[in-house]
Amino acid sequence: TGVGRSHASVRLAPDGTAELLTGLFDTGTGAHTVLQQIAAEVLGLDPGRVWVRIGGTDIAEEDSGAGGSRVTHVAGQAAFRAASSAAEQLRQLAAELFGWPETDVVLRGGRIGPGERFDDDAVPLEEVLRRLGEPIVGHGSYETDERHPEQTVSAQAAEVEVDRETGQVRVRRLVSVHDVGTVINPVTHRGQIEGGVVHGLGFALMEEIGISPDEGRVGTLSLGEYKLPSVLDVPPLETILVPGGHGPGPYDAKAIGEASNSAVAPAIAAAVLDAVGVAARDLPIKAERVLALLDEAAASPTQASAAASPRPR
């Protein structure tokens, strides 16, 4: 799990909504949605009442950014601490206003009240905030330069079809099994896994930077030459989640972004070996490479058998 630093602030407005300010940008992985959900859970609000605002360094502190499996861990902890600070201030004020025991004040469903008599005595958050007359602001920072010892374990299996005449490899099915902590957002979590699997598929079968052996020039200068998987290349994907362990993120969340593609290429290579008996040790596993291996195996069965055997560890 990644390292870095992050800061967040949560501002509770008189209308009972919350604004979460962060310096973290969202690269399309749903990072802001996860921060929104974390803050909403702490504050007892519907996520739709929490607004995420991204700020530059003029209004938000520097953030390490997205990458390195750090977002939910580092930025998530900062958001959790900021929301917790705002929630604690709100509990103290409500206890003073209504004479409730401070240790028994609960935030739930957009309302605040004493735990033992919540259903009878709880009031909307906006009532407390309006009586206060000014917003409540909580701040939270989190920084770590040590990777968390908790590991994210994954396993992947592939079913392939190999054309012996052309060497073409077609993946018919991919199964991914991942050890996870608490999944904060199932939709974005699954999206990261499946997106990573498709990346792994591209690495395994088609993505390659072509360099001229004579001039040393890169030949794949655009996406016209550098092939990426399309929807027609993606087989049925199956994802299995195995809950377990404690992650470093809020609510024991664990990283998933980088673990999703690590075993795809080895699984496909192993499936090719199982299907036609040749070991493809170079990526991508293109048709011409497989065909050359098949021709070599046909010409020299003994050498091909030795080449296909597992390498010593």
DSSP per position, 69-81: T-IIIIIHHHHHH
Q: What value does the mean pLDDT of the chain take?
A: 89
Confidence class for position 312, pLDDT limits 50, 70, 90: very low
Q: In sequence order, which residues have a C-beta less than 8 Å from that of residue 221 and are 6 or more positions away?
A: none
Domain final residue, candidates 144, 178, 208: 144
Mean pLDDT of the region 106-111: 94
**In the chain, what percentage of residues exceed pLDDT 90?**
59
**Helix intervals (H) in the chain:** 31-43, 76-98, 118-121, 125-132, 186-205, 264-276, 287-299, 301-308
**Is 146 in the active site?**
no
pLDDT per residue as tens digits for the range 1-38: 678 889 999 999 999 999 999 988 888 888 999 999 99
Whether residue 109 is found in the same domain as residue 172: no
Q: Tell me the two tokens of residue 15.
A: 């209308």
Confidence class for position 78, pLDDT limits 50, 70, 90: very high
Most confident of 38-42, 140-144, 257-261: 38-42
Q: Which amino acid would we find at residue 101? A: P
Whether 313 maps to a domain, the answer reads no
Whether residue 199 is found in the same domain as residue 250: yes
Distance CA 298, CA 19 (A): 67
Whether 91 maps to a domain, the answer reads yes
Distance CA 212, CA 160 (A): 31
Whether 136 maps to a domain, the answer reads yes
Q: Which residue has the tokens 């065909």?
A: 291
Whether residue 123 is found in the same domain as residue 179: no
Q: Which amino acid would we find at residue 160? A: V
Whether residue 115 is found in the same domain as residue 158: no
Helix axes of 76-98 and 125-132: crossing angle, nearest 10 degrees:
70
pLDDT at 150 over 70: no
Which one, of 232, 240, 229, lies nearest residue 174 by Cα?
A: 240
> Measuring CA to CA, how many Å separate 180 from each of 85, 184, 236, 237?
28, 11, 22, 18
Whether residue 240 is found in the same domain as residue 129: no
At residue 51, the 3 state secondary structure works out as: strand
Q: Tell me the two tokens of residue 126.
A: 């906006």
Domain around 210: 154-308
Whether residue 178 is found in the same domain as residue 281: yes
Whether residue 68 is found in the same domain as residue 110: yes
pLDDT per residue as tens digits for the range 156-201: 999 999 999 999 999 999 999 998 889 999 999 999 999 999 999 9
CATH of the domain at 114: 3.30.365.10
Q: Cα dihedral angle (84, 89, 90, 93), rounded to 10 degrees?
A: 160
The DSSP bridge partners found for residue 174 are 158, 237
Q: How many CA atoms lie within 13 A of 92 on its CB side?
A: 7
User: How do 105-108 and 169-180 pair as beta strands?
Assistant: unpaired
Whether residue 280 is found in the same domain as residue 178: yes
Active-site residue, selected from the candidate residues 61, 126, 194, 258? 258
Is the preceding omega at residue 14 within 30 degrees of 0, hence cis?
A: no
pLDDT at 94 over 70: yes
φ/ψ of residue 188, rounded to 5: -70, -30
Whether residue 12 is found in the same domain as residue 47: yes
Whether 149 maps to a domain, the answer reads no
Domain final residue, candidates 121, 144, 167: 144
Whether 286 maps to a domain, the answer reads yes
Whether 214 maps to a domain, the answer reads yes
pLDDT at 87 over 70: yes
Whether 113 maps to a domain, the answer reads yes
Identify the pLDDT of residue 147. 66
Q: In sequence order, which residues have a C-beta less than 8 Å from that of residue 231 and are 6 or more positions away?
A: none
Whether residue 140 is found in the same domain as residue 180: no
* Number of continuous H segments (helices) and E segments (strands) in the chain: 8, 10
Identify the pLDDT of residue 304. 55
Which one, of 120, 118, 93, 96, lies nearest residue 107 by Cα?
A: 118
Q: How many structural domains comprise the chain?
A: 2
Whether residue 222 is found in the same domain as residue 80: no
Whether residue 124 is found in the same domain as residue 158: no
Distance CA 81, CA 295 (A): 62
Domain final residue, candidates 90, 124, 144: 144
Whether 52 maps to a domain, the answer reads yes
